[in-house]
């Protein structure tokens, strides 16, 4: 089954594949490889201008009820939760998004974070569990002198630019 899913992804592309699974996807989104949409992808909603990078996992159910099924003799119980991603969001590599979470608009979720609670609009959140560490405006102010205008450059142009910027030579590479 995994081989078939990988073939479907390659043919359809990551965004179309997510939609095929039932994920509600907004406009102008980009999804990288190896995203796990969980067992109930139709409970996930993604806004406009969202980038989800590699190895992000969405969990839409609480597997812990397995214990209660036996402990409390509640054989048929399950527990589910929606995941809602706002507009203009970046989710870094290797994040896990838990059920019943809403990530607001204009948010950055740092690599490897586990999001267990709602993240408000205009926030940068990182960690395990993810916590808001600053606003988007604070992130901008802190980094504005370190930004490089390389978007749109070819890989060769970007490499030349970065080698020059960091004064690298052959022995550094």
Strand order in the sheet with 57-58: 57-58, 96-97, 114-115
Distance CA 43, CA 24 (A): 8
**Cα separation values, 112 from 80, 97, 115, 168, Å:** 23, 10, 10, 30
pLDDT for residue 73: 86
Q: Is the pLDDT assigned to residue 9 strictly greater than 80? A: no
Average the pLDDT over 110-126 and give the result.
98
Q: Is the pLDDT of residue 150 over 60?
A: yes
Average pLDDT over residues 102-126: 98
Range scoring the smallest mean pLDDT among 59-73, 101-115, 159-173: 159-173
pTM (2 decimals)? 0.89
Task: Name the pLDDT band for 81 (thresholds 50, 70, 90).
Answer: very high
Does the domain made of 2-136 have the CATH classification 2.160.10.10? yes
Average pLDDT score, the chain: 93
Domain ranges of the chain: 2-136
**Residues involved in catalysis:** 66
């Amino acid at each position: 089954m995994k081989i078939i899913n990988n073939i479907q992804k390659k043919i359809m592309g990551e965004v179309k594949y997510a939609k095929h699974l039932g994920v509600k996807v907004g406009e102008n989104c980009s999804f990288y490889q190896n995203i796990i949409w969980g067992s109930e992808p139709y409970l996930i909603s993604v806004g406009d201008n969202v980038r989800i990078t590699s190895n992000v996992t969405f969990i839409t159910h609480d597997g812990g009820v397995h214990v209660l099924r036996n402990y409390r003799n509640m054989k048929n119980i399950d527990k589910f939760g929606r995941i809602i991603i706002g507009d203009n969001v970046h989710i870094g590599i290797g994040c896990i998004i838990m059920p019943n979470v809403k990530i607001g608009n204009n948010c950055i979720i740092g690599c490897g974070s586990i999001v267990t609670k709602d993240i408000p609009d205009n926030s940068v959140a990182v960690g395990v569990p993810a916590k808001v560490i600053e606003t988007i405006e604070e992130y901008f102010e802190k980094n504005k002198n370190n930004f490089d205008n390389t978007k749109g450059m070819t890989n060769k142009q970007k490499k030349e630019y970065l080698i020059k910027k960091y004064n690298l030579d052959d022995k550094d590479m």
